Amino acid sequence: MSGTQKITGGCQCGAVRYEIKEFGRATICHCRMCQKAFGGLYAPLVTGLGINWVHREPKYFQSSSKVQRGFCEECGTPLTYDFEGTVAVSIGSLDNPELVTPILQFSADTRVSYVDDISKVPHYVSAKGAPEEDMFSDMISYQHPDHPTENWSVDKLKNKDK
């Protein structure tokens, strides 16, 4: 994916936003460091060639002798995996994660055993009909929309509810 369409992304709260000129290789990592850093079962990443931080930059944590990980210091969203200067962004932080498909998996020896069976677990398209539907009925999202915005303030949005 490259060309005229802008590739954009950012954190959940909108404090950190980026643009990418083009994608490199997309991967999934199952190592324990990535599981911990993402707070998930694996880390879907894509090399971001020509990354430009358009609204603030991430804060970094040196997770090993060769890797530092970028995240939003406001909301904690995992954003980057920087291996000695080669930066990959988390696919989930892209405004349109459907633009890229992982082609390779790393650390399969530490893959959580049930990952391959997740699609077999009962699921709902939305909260409608789910046993927990009432929990979500009056929820208001403070998440940044999946596109660039001129002005965005979670604090202003939260104050509208009061």
Q: Which residue is it, tokens 């208001």?
A: 140
pLDDT digits (tens, 9 = 90+) for 117-133: 999 998 776 666 666 66
Give the lowest-confidence range in 18-22, 100-104, 130-134, 156-160: 156-160
Q: What fold does the segment set 7-152 form as a domain?
A: 2.170.150
Locate the domains of the chain by residue range: 7-152
DSSP state letter for 132 = T
pLDDT digits (tens, 9 = 90+) for 35-78: 999 999 999 999 999 999 999 999 999 999 999 999 999 999 99
pTM for the full model? 0.82
